[in-house]
Amino acid sequence: MCGIAGMAGVADELLLTEMLAISRHRGPNDSGIYVAKGATAASCAAIGNNRLSIIDLSPAGHQPMCNEDGTVWVAYNGETYNFTDLRQELLHDGHKFRSQTDTEVLVHLYEKCGHDMVKRLNGMFAFAVWDTKKEELSIFRDRMGIKPLYYTKVGGRLYFASEIKALLACPEIAIEIDRTSLCQYLAYLYVPNPGSMFKGIFKLPPGHSLRWRDGEVQVNCYWDLSYGNYFQESEATLAEQFRELLVAATRRQLISDVPVGFFLSGGLDSSTLVACAAHAGESSLKCYSIAYKEEYGRTEQCTDDARFAEIVATHFGAKFHQIVVDPDVATLLPKVVWHLDDPIADPAAIATYLISRAAAPEVTVLLSGQGADEVLSGYRVHRVHKMAAWLRLIPRTMREEAAPALLKWISVRKDKAMGIPPGLLLAACRYSDKVLRTAGMEPAEQYAAFRSYLLDEDMRALLSAESNIATSDWSHRDTFLNLFGKVACEDYVNQMLYVDAKTFLPDLNLAYSDKLSMACSIEVRVPFLDNEIVEFLQRVPPKLKMRGYTQKYLLRRAMDGVLPKEVLRRRKAAFGLPIRAWLRNELREMLTDMLSEERIRRRGLLNAAAVTQMIRDNETGERDYTLQLWGLLTLELWHQAFVDERRTATPDPVLV
């Protein structure tokens, strides 16, 4: 696992060295560059790598790496899980190897297959290939977008990096907010690819390659999800096959020359991986979970993660580490935002960092259950269309008035309501509010609205007049609706999973997981997104992904009798953090200062009065705007770091 950076059409060694220095946390074990200085811009390029040593820890793994005659150079970030098979094939073909790394496999596979090489890889990656004969730079990103890659074009020059902040070292890259991306961020709390909050800086989409030659850039899709040709085997047979595939994928992703551990929330997905590792014969399992102070339980959704995680760890004989959350969040949050680059307002980013930091002294690799929800139908949004069919029988006015009335009744100031922690009850009411308000929409429109934290009228009220004018002919839902159109002939469950896999998965979940784990020099692997798992699930009938209202049905069948019953029956769990309590206590002063009317007016992006009203309604309990305010606070901290200061170094080299 590493961080990469580079350029084409120019070969600035000093600039590349600075770009790599900015992202050194991604690879503290080694660093290297290759510079091609040709007679013309078309023959100039430079690529570099910061190495986190995972496979073959010797100096032979130094990057960038080349073939025998120095005509092909590779800078690589990632892991290729089938590299040993590919290596044997290449050895049989006569290729010579100097190391035991998967990087060197890429060098020779490119020699053999050219751009089609990427279709042979099972792994997570973003890598660049400079072909000196063709004077061509090629960049590839893995199928599901597990590893990030950003790029921008200035004239005929291309710049790329694993993190945006490395690109900002280049003085000719201008910093300007993309207002279309701003709308998407306000709606979804992240920016879907290929855009970013930085105008002109793009994400290379999952399953895509980029080719630069003589100043021209082409971006092409080399792989896409494709559903159909469904299995005809029995449910029991498919469940058994799925379990075997999960064990095999977990075994593949346990391969490492450094210690490996597990994120463990005690939910179905992470618990499954621990079970599969135990079944694969892993004898020294280390599991890491997060918990917070008991008093936070009154305002948050769940305080049970650590309890369930310990049950799983004990069941499989794993060493269990519980991290109790009580950080200096006012100091931590700005540094987390800096590491994220593109703003992402998911509090789980902090949880990922805290667990990675705690695990770093013992392990260098962590396996995560991320991706299971997107390939198996695990989110609440996936069952909304079923509920909507019944709710349409209720008159529209009654639907739209019911949930807001509940939200007004339940204030986070109440200690308890009906014996249920208010945080959990508030979450249920927010969900009910969205279901009732969107029940009359067509399924794709409903999905897009349900994924949003702001309805159209709320969005327009929150934007400044200038931002409204700039985005007047565009809807933030267009990205989702266009993707639905690409798979309009598929079953609706698979349509939703397709959209998730193209947006929510790579641009939110995988993005924050990569950035905040790599901030601690930790590699995160995701077995549920292994090629063989994804390909298998594309052929599983949708009714086995969601049976009635039971989600991830086939996974539950596969793990029945393997996982403890209380884990199988547990409602959906995730790494939670007490952000509601933080916004009312530790972050209250920061929130009122960062989102003051004077500051909001100066930015010119948002309606200051609307922001103030959100803060007031949240404090009084009139509405629960916890996540929306977290998003606005994140946006302001991002603006300060990257627009005001163009900060390419964290205020403090060590997160505390």
* Domain-terminating residue out of 166, 192, 221: 221
Indicate whether 209 and 263 sit together in one domain.
Answer: no
**Residues 512 and 163 sit within 8 Å (Cβ to Cβ):** no
Nearest Cα to Cα of residue 261 among 371, 363, 357: 363
**Residues 567 and 273 sit within 8 Å (Cβ to Cβ):** no
* Domain-terminating residue out of 536, 569, 602: 569
Residue-range definition of the domain harbouring residue 144: 2-221
In a domain, 209, yes or no: yes
What is the residue whose two structure tokens read 């973003």? Answer: 126
Indicate whether 143 and 210 sit together in one domain.
Answer: yes
In a domain, 462, yes or no: no
What lies within 8 Å, CB to CB, of 53 at 6+ separation is: 29, 30, 61, 257, 258
Indicate whether 198 and 50 sit together in one domain.
Answer: yes
**Residues 400 and 436 sit within 8 Å (Cβ to Cβ):** yes
**Residues 453 and 464 sit within 8 Å (Cβ to Cβ):** no
Indicate whether 135 and 263 sit together in one domain.
Answer: no
Indicate whether 272 and 314 sit together in one domain.
Answer: yes
Q: How far apart are CA 60 and CA 100, in angstroms?
A: 8
Indicate whether 217 and 246 sit together in one domain.
Answer: no
Q: What is the CATH number of the domain that holds 75?
A: 3.60.20.10
Question: Looking at residue 299, what is its pLDDT?
Answer: 56
In a domain, 454, yes or no: no
Indicate whether 349 and 256 sit together in one domain.
Answer: yes
Q: How far apart are CA 3 and CA 518, in angstroms?
A: 9
Residue 59, number of CB atoms within 10 A of its CB: 9
Q: How far apart are CA 385 and CA 388, in angstroms?
A: 5
Mark the ranges of the chain whose per-residue pLDDT is less than 70. 1, 294-303, 392-393, 396, 399-429, 573-576, 650-656
What lies within 8 Å, CB to CB, of 290 at 6+ separation is: 265, 305, 306, 322, 323, 324, 325, 351, 354, 355, 575, 576, 577
Indicate whether 104 and 195 sit together in one domain.
Answer: yes
Terminal C-alpha separation, the chain: 23
* Domain-terminating residue out of 569, 597, 627: 569
In a domain, 355, yes or no: yes
In a domain, 390, yes or no: no
Q: How far apart are CA 441 and CA 282, in angstroms?
A: 49
| H helix count then E strand count, the chain | 29, 19
Nearest Cα to Cα of residue 514 among 212, 178, 146, 170: 146
Indicate whether 34 and 81 sit together in one domain.
Answer: yes
In a domain, 44, yes or no: yes
Residue 463, number of CB atoms within 10 A of its CB: 23
Q: Where are the alpha helices (DSSP H) in 318-462?
A: 329-340, 348-359, 372-376, 384-391, 396-409, 422-438, 443-451, 456-462
What type of residue sits at position 489?
C
What lies within 8 Å, CB to CB, of 519 at 6+ separation is: 25, 339, 353, 356, 655
pTM of the model: 0.94
Indicate whether 212 and 307 sit together in one domain.
Answer: no
What lies within 8 Å, CB to CB, of 284 at 6+ separation is: 319
What is the residue whose two structure tokens read 């590792």? Answer: 277
Q: How many domains would you assign to the chain?
A: 2
What lies within 8 Å, CB to CB, of 458 at 6+ separation is: none
Question: Looking at residue 422, what is its pLDDT?
Answer: 59
Indicate whether 278 and 354 sit together in one domain.
Answer: yes
Q: Where are the alpha helices (DSSP H) in 477-524?
A: 478-486, 492-502, 504, 510-518
**Residues 163 and 26 sit within 8 Å (Cβ to Cβ):** yes
In a domain, 434, yes or no: no
Q: What is the CATH number of the domain that holds 505?
A: 3.40.50.620
In a domain, 411, yes or no: no
Question: Looking at residue 301, what is its pLDDT?
Answer: 55
Question: Looking at residue 417, what is its pLDDT?
Answer: 47
What are the tens digits of pLDDT across the range 571-595? 775 566 888 889 989 999 999 999 9
What is the residue whose two structure tokens read 């994928």? Answer: 249
Indicate whether 10 and 83 sit together in one domain.
Answer: yes
Question: Looking at residue 473, what is its pLDDT?
Answer: 75
Which phi and psi angles does 463 have, rounded to 5°? -75, 150
User: CA of 59: how far to CAs of 91, 153, 455, in Å?
Assistant: 21, 34, 54
